[in-house]
């Protein structure tokens, strides 16, 4: 099949899509100058309905263009991060047969006519992070240590999403992915519009397992648009402390209830 790459970070020629189009057995080399800093989506865009068919088959990613002087906070001070994680939310539109079972095909192109019918409903069959269910949970969870600053780069090439780190925040978030703009501060949830990547920085302050989720909670916990960050370190009671363990309410407590 024909393929190309539209770099949202590039200027002109459909982001390089016009000059990178190749047919089976062909290769092409292109070059572009990164004139904007930030995090940007790239995706396959060979034209017509092939664009959503390729993008919703996973043919997308992100590129980060850092400022020469490094990242800056909202006051213009230099920002460092200890590690960076890339998390891509992917929507799939897998057809089902008359019995409700997911269909399989000898080759991907054979399923495109049926996929077209599914994605015309605008309802994904699957929503996952980094390609498959469980890619970033359990034994595949991301890791960090208390005191580490982690830069999370999240992309969505097709649909809008909203990201929340359960138990944490975005200390800094570059809305729209632009490093040329001052970052916003202390966001609880931040938007990633379809066709963008967004960077957020957080310094972990407590150990434990954090959930990094699409905060449409149906999409997170039913469709599995969720990742985990396992953080090691010492607990700080000043930030959060259990005062009394769960216990049965006394009759006096019950009487005080409205």
Residues annotated as part of the active site: 3, 6, 8, 43-44, 54, 59, 164, 188-189, 215
Strands (E), 50-100: 60-65, 71-72, 78-79, 83-92
Identify the sign of the CA torsion 103, 109, 110, 114: positive
User: Tokens standing for 155?
Assistant: 């992309």
User: Tokens standing for 126?
Assistant: 């699957």
Q: Which of 60, 50, 56 is nearest to 1 (CA)?
A: 50
Q: Which of 150, 121, 129, 136 is nearest to 214 (CA)?
A: 129
Task: Give the distance, in angstroms, between the CA of residue 158 and the centroid of all CA atoms in the same chain.
Answer: 11
Find out whether 179 and 37 touch, Cβ atoms under 8 Å: yes
CA distance 217 to 233: 28
């Amino acid at each position: 099949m024909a393929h190309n790459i539209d770099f949202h970070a590039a200027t002109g020629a459909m982001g390089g899509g016009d000059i990178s189009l190749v047919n089976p057995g062909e290769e092409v080399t292109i070059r572009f100058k990164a004139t904007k800093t930030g995090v940007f989506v790239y995706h396959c865009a060979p034209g017509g309905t092939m664009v959503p068919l390729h993008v919703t088959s996973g043919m997308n990613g992100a590129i980060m263009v850092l400022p020469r002087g490094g990242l800056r906070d909202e006051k213009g001070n230099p920002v460092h991060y200890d590690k960076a994680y890339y998390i891509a939310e992917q929507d799939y539109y897998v057809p089902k047969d008359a019995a409700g079972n997911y269909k399989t095909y000898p080759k991907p192109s054979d399923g495109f006519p049926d996929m077209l019918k599914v994605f015309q409903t605008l309802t994904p069959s699957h929503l996952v992070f980094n390609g498959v269910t469980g890619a970033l949970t359990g034994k595949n969870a991301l890791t960090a240590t208390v005191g580490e600053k982690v830069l999370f780069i999240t992309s969505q090439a097709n649909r809008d999403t909203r990201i929340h780190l359960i138990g944490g925040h975005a200390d800094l978030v570059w809305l729209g992915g632009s490093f040329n703009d001052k970052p916003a501060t202390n966001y609880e949830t931040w938007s990633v519009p379809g066709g963008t990547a967004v960077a957020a920085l957080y310094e972990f302050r407590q150990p434990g397992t954090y959930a990094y989720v699409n905060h449409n909670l149906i999409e997170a916990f039913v469709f599995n648009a969720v990742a985990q960050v396992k953080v090691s370190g010492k607990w700080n009671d000043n930030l959060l402390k259990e005062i009394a363990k769960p216990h049965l309410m006394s009759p006096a407590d019950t009487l005080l209830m409205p």
